[in-house]
Amino acid sequence: MQQTDTHGRTEPDIGLREAQAAVDRWITTVGVRYFSPLTNMAILAEETGEVARVIARCDGEQSAKPGEKLDLADELADLLWVTLAIANQHGIDMARAFANNIVKKNVRDGERHKLNSKLQDN
């Protein structure tokens, strides 16, 4: 399946399994090998912080520093990349894990948020 980006270019719509395979191919060829799981955990925390930095400046009260790049899409892609790398290291099929997670949320939270008075418009 393909989609068109905001500039009218056609891009492939990559599924989770294909994304995981692409991360593995890149890491095992260009990147030489996987970092240790602990290093990848530290990188995950670092990338999460970079997402937070962009959101704090775009949606929060902080202003950007002169010349600071605020690219939320790129930071989220970095976060996804390291998440998929960690999944690969642990033999996790993220497509299956995500599908299971949706089921879990529907079962556990199917009515919870609808019944939460904190979320109701007053």
Note the pLDDT tens digit of each residue in 93-114: 999 999 999 999 999 888 888 8
* Parent domain of 15: 2-94
105: left (phi over 0), alpha (psi -120 to 50) or beta: alpha
Residues 94 and 20 sit within 8 Å (Cβ to Cβ):
yes
Q: What's the token pair of residue 101?
A: 């997670």
Domain of 28, CATH number, reads: 1.10.287.1080
120 lies in some domain: no
66 lies in some domain: yes
- What is the value of pTM for the model shown? 0.83
Check residue 56 and give its pLDDT. Answer: 96
Intervals of the chain under pLDDT 70: 1-8, 122
Check residue 114 and give its pLDDT. Answer: 84
54 lies in some domain: yes
103 lies in some domain: no
Number of domains in the chain: 1
41 contact partners, CB below 8 Å, separation of at least 6: 86
78 lies in some domain: yes
Check residue 120 and give its pLDDT. Answer: 86
42 lies in some domain: yes
Check residue 45 and give its pLDDT. Answer: 98
Check residue 3 and give its pLDDT. Answer: 62
77 lies in some domain: yes
38 lies in some domain: yes
